[in-house]
């Protein structure tokens, strides 16, 4: 019986996710679901991405947090439309929350929608939001063993950003071992080492991102 309830919840989420995707496609919006541990640098990556594509790509942002509007206020200063979702305890964003957020964004004026999920390396992997790509942000201080410990999230990702490479001299982290672990779990996800503090490595990430967006004028793929 418990399993039945869970099936219904996921079924409903999938249905709403599909509607979100249709609405995004209709408005020519490419959406990215950004997932990570707390403090890995999701908001910093959003800010770096906005700065890197400025003048070329019109960005909109959905900020997901259990509580507070700290991130939306930070992102709002970058001059892009932003909506803050407070999940009120929920450990992940779901498609219904995104449906509500989309209704509050000027979709016609957005090419790229960055959705910052709740900081959690487990639960968000299970909930599609209607996004085109899922991106996992790992960070150097978290350690190079995370792909083994959180395999569902690393399996779900279309790309893995490794943030805080500026801290590599100060912590034990084997970049080769990390990349090998990611590739072993998920052969399709590229790894993008970068530092949102120094900006190093950001161009490779935004180049990949814009390449994903290219089929936008023609039919899009998931």
Binding site for a second copy (CB under 8 A): 1-2, 5, 9, 37-39, 65-68, 70, 89, 91, 118-123, 139, 141-143, 145-146, 148-152, 164, 166-167, 170-171, 197
User: Residue 38 or 79: which CB sits closer to a second copy?
Assistant: 38
User: Residue 195 or 210: which CB sits closer to a second copy?
Assistant: 195
User: Residue 51 or 171: which CB sits closer to a second copy?
Assistant: 171
Return the percent helix, strand and coil in the chain, to nearest 5: 45, 20, 35
User: Residue 42 or 133: which CB sits closer to a second copy?
Assistant: 42
Could you tell me the smallest distance in angstroms from the CB atom of residue 140 to a second copy? 8
Could you tell me the smallest distance in angstroms from the CB atom of residue 27 to a second copy? 30
Q: What are phi and psi of 16, to 5 degrees?
A: -70, -35
Could you tell me the smallest distance in angstroms from the CB atom of residue 112 to a second copy? 24
82-86 sheet: strands from edge to edge: 82-86, 59-65, 112-116, 30-36, 133-139, 159-163, 190-193
Cβ atoms of 200 and 161 within 8 Å: the answer is: no
Could you tell me the smallest distance in angstroms from the CB atom of residue 204 to a second copy? 22
Could you tell me the smallest distance in angstroms from the CB atom of residue 219 to a second copy? 34
Query: Tokens 């909506």 — which residue?
Result: 83
- Torsion-angle region of residue 55: left (phi > 0), alpha (psi -120 to 50) or beta? left
User: Residue 121 or 135: which CB sits closer to a second copy?
Assistant: 121
| Cα–Cα distance, 62 to 82 (Å, whole number) | 6
């Amino acid at each position: 019986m418990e399993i039945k309830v869970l099936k219904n919840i996921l079924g409903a989420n999938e249905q709403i996710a599909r509607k979100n995707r249709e609405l995004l496609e209709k408005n020519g919006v490419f959406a990215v679901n950004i997932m990570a541990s707390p403090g890995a640098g999701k908001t910093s990556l959003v800010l770096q991405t906005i700065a890197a594509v400025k003048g070329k790509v019109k960005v909109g942002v959905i900020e997901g947090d259990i509580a507070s509007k700290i991130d939306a206020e930070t992102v709002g200063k970058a001059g892009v439309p932003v909506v803050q979702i407070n999940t009120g305890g929920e450990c992940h964003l779901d498609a219904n929350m995104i449906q509500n957020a989309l209704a509050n964004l000027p979709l016609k004026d957005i090419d790229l929608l960055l959705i910052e999920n709740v900081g959690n390396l487990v639960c968000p992997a299970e909930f599609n939001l209607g996004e085109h790509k899922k991106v996992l942000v790992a960070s150097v201080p978290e350690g190079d063993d995370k792909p083994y410990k959180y395999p569902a999230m690393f399996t779900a990702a279309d790309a893995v950003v490794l943030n805080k490479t500026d801290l590599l001299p100060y912590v034990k982290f084997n970049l080769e071992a990390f990349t090998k672990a990611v590739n072993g779990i998920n052969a399709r996800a590229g790894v993008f080492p970068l530092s949102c503090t120094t900006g190093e490595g950001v161009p490779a990430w935004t180049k990949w991102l814009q390449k994903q967006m290219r089929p936008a004028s023609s039919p899009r793929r998931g």
